[in-house]
Copies of this chain bind each other. A is one copy, B any other.
Amino acid sequence: MPTETAPAYTYPERDEIRIESVLHALADPVRLRIVRQLAAAETGEIACGNLDVTVSKSTLTHHLRTLREAGVIMGRQQGTARYNSLRLEDLDALFPGLLNGILSAPR
């Protein structure tokens, strides 16, 4: 089964998420672009291959890892695809208003 061979990612628990790490993760144009796309996604998630970024696959992997390890996104493996979504509930609970403030920023 594909889900059994997928890499086992680790995610910080909610109480392990630090504001400094979240802000650092978000303080990058590419990662901010990813977060905006995830926030706007109808289903709330986007497969890695469908993210609209102009970076190489390995660079994208690095950015997704930074977001994941900071506690900003989660990943869900389905077959060979990995779907990314924002940890909206955790982020809103920890830093109410933060994400909306960032997403409403002028481009």
Residues of chain A at the chain B interface (Cβ within 8 Å): 15, 19-21, 23-24, 26-29, 32, 94-102, 104-106
Task: Flag if A102 contacts B98 (CB, 8 Å).
Answer: yes
CB distance from A36 to the nearest CB of B (A): 10
Task: Flag if B97 contacts A97 (CB, 8 Å).
Answer: yes
Task: Flag if B98 contacts A97 (CB, 8 Å).
Answer: yes
Check A98/B96 contact, CB under 8 A, given A24-B27, A27-B23: no
Nearest CB in chain B to that of A105: its residue: B19
Separation of A19 and B24 alpha carbons in the complex (Å): 12
Nearest CB in chain B to that of A25: its residue: B27
Separation of A23 and B19 alpha carbons in the complex (Å): 11
Separation of A104 and B24 alpha carbons in the complex (Å): 17
Having A23-B26, A24-B24, A98-B98, one finds 10 other A-B pairs with CB under 8 Å, namely A19-B106, A20-B27, A23-B27, A94-B105, A95-B105, A96-B101, A97-B97, A98-B102, A99-B101, A100-B101
